[in-house]
Structures are given as structure tokens and as C-alpha cells.
Chains A and B, each alone.
Chain A
Amino acid sequence: DGGITQSPKYLFRKEGQNVTLSCEQNLNHDAMYWYRQDPGQGLRLIYYSQIVNDFQKGDIAEGYSVSREKKESFPLTVTSAQKNPTAFYLCASSKNRGSTEAFFGQGTRLTVV
């Protein structure tokens, strides 16, 4: 089945630790995105990538880092510099940047204690 997979579904980390969230897609999409979702809030863009080895900051990139070494993979690292990391993180992909439909993964709920 084609789709976009995020893992793990739930993640717990101690404060001050870096943590990496996985996002893999087998849709052959060029563009991939990371969003953060907080209760009662819309989705806010963290980073996006239009093509392999290229990525751009979104609206709330501080405290996060990404890499795009392979077309199908776009991992997100939540660093210790992120002041409020507990949230629901969503990865998405689209055929290319001009495509209108974005396909979302199931999300990773990160809790920092």
C-alpha cells in the first residue's frame, strides 16, 4: 500500500534530550513537510523540503532540525533548544510543491517530561 508512515506513534523523552521523529513515504513525492499541532490550534509549519538535499524553514523552525538525504525520508529532530516540545507532530507529502493535495501521516505524539 502506498502511503506516508510516521513512527513511533507515541514518544516520551526527558527534558534536555534530543529526539528524532521518523517520516517515510512511498508515494514518490518530491515535497515533504513537518507540522506541529497543539490542542485547539491549527497546524503550524515547522520545515519543508521540495527536493532531496534541500529544505526550508517554516513558521516555527526554532529548536528543530531536519534532513532530506533520501526522497522517501524526512526525519525531524526536536532539540533541547525547543522550549515547549510536547505536541502532536504531523508529517505530510505532496507530489511537488505546486500540488494541491497534501497527504498526512498518522502523527507522532511527543511528550517531554
Chain B
Amino acid sequence: GENVEQHPSTLSVQEGDSAVIKCTYSDSASNYFPWYKQELGKGPQLIIDIRSNVGEKKDQRIAVTLNKTAKHFSLHITETQPEDSAVYFCAASRTGGGADGLTFGKGTHLIIQP
């Protein structure tokens, strides 16, 4: 089955700096890669996703890159703000959709230092 590794487990950055979270996956058939943000005591929320037919996707301060050959994908947050503090999860799916097909990484606790 699919295995998703996520690094780092904790990331502390100064407000205004950039943050990068990296994930690798094992199943070359995976074709859908979402990123979720989970605030304390709440459920995860989808913030951005990418499919295997594109290499990069951007939405304001958030971008995701995908390297199919190396089987890794990354989340980039620029100009970080205090409200970016949360746990971020990457996931991979070979079905292209459906939460039952998602394999999640273990999460990255992002801390934005004022």
C-alpha cells in the first residue's frame, strides 16, 4: 500500500519568513495530493491540492510543487502570518478522489514566531 512520509514534524519560523514542508510517497500510481490545515481542536481543512498532471499550483501565499520522478511534493507558504500556525497534513491518493483513498502523512506543527 501507499506510504507517505512528512518532514519536519515541527517547524518554527519568524513571522514574514517562508515555510516549506516536504512529503514523499511510495506508490507511483498515486495521482492526487492534497494538503490539509488543522487548527487546535478543529477538523482538518483542505487548503490546496495538486494532481499528477501538473508540477506546480499556487493560491496567493500558498504553493504546492510535485516531482513525480522523485515521488515527492512540497507545500510552500510565503510571508507567514500568525494565523498560519497550525498542524499541516499532506496526503496521497491513487484513486484521484474520495477520502477513503487518502493516505496521510503524520503532520507538521508549524509555529510562527512573532
- Chain A interface size band reads 20 to 34
**A105 and B96 within 8 A (CB):** no
Q: Which of B43, B96, B103 contacts A107 (CB 8 A)?
A: B43
**B32 and A100 within 8 A (CB):** yes
User: Contacts A40-B106, A43-B104, A100-B32; is A90 near B43 (CB within 8 Å)?
Assistant: yes
A104 at the interface (CB under 8 A from B): yes
- What 1/0 flags go to A81-113 for Cβ under 8 Å of B? 000000000101010111111101111000000
B29 at the interface (CB under 8 A from A): no
B99 at the interface (CB under 8 A from A): yes
**B97 and A100 within 8 A (CB):** yes
**A104 and B105 within 8 A (CB):** no
A41 at the interface (CB under 8 A from B): yes
User: Contacts A40-B106, A41-B106, A42-B104; is A94 near B44 (CB within 8 Å)?
Assistant: no
A100 to B49, CA, bound (A): 9
A27 at the interface (CB under 8 A from B): no
**A104 and B97 within 8 A (CB):** no
> Which residues in B have some Cβ–Cβ distance to A below 8 Å?
4, 6, 9, 32, 34, 36, 41-46, 49, 89, 91, 95-100, 102-107
A92-B99, A96-B98, A101-B34 are known contacts; what are 14 more A-B pairs with Cβ within 8 Å? A6-B43, A31-B98, A40-B107, A42-B106, A43-B102, A48-B99, A58-B100, A92-B43, A94-B97, A94-B99, A97-B97, A98-B98, A100-B96, A102-B102
Could you name 29 residue pairs across A and B whose Cβ atoms are closer than 8 Å?
A: A4-B43, A6-B43, A9-B41, A31-B98, A33-B99, A40-B106, A42-B6, A42-B89, A42-B91, A42-B103, A43-B89, A44-B104, A45-B100, A92-B43, A92-B99, A97-B97, A97-B98, A98-B96, A98-B97, A98-B98, A99-B97, A100-B32, A100-B49, A100-B96, A102-B99, A102-B102, A104-B43, A107-B41, A107-B42
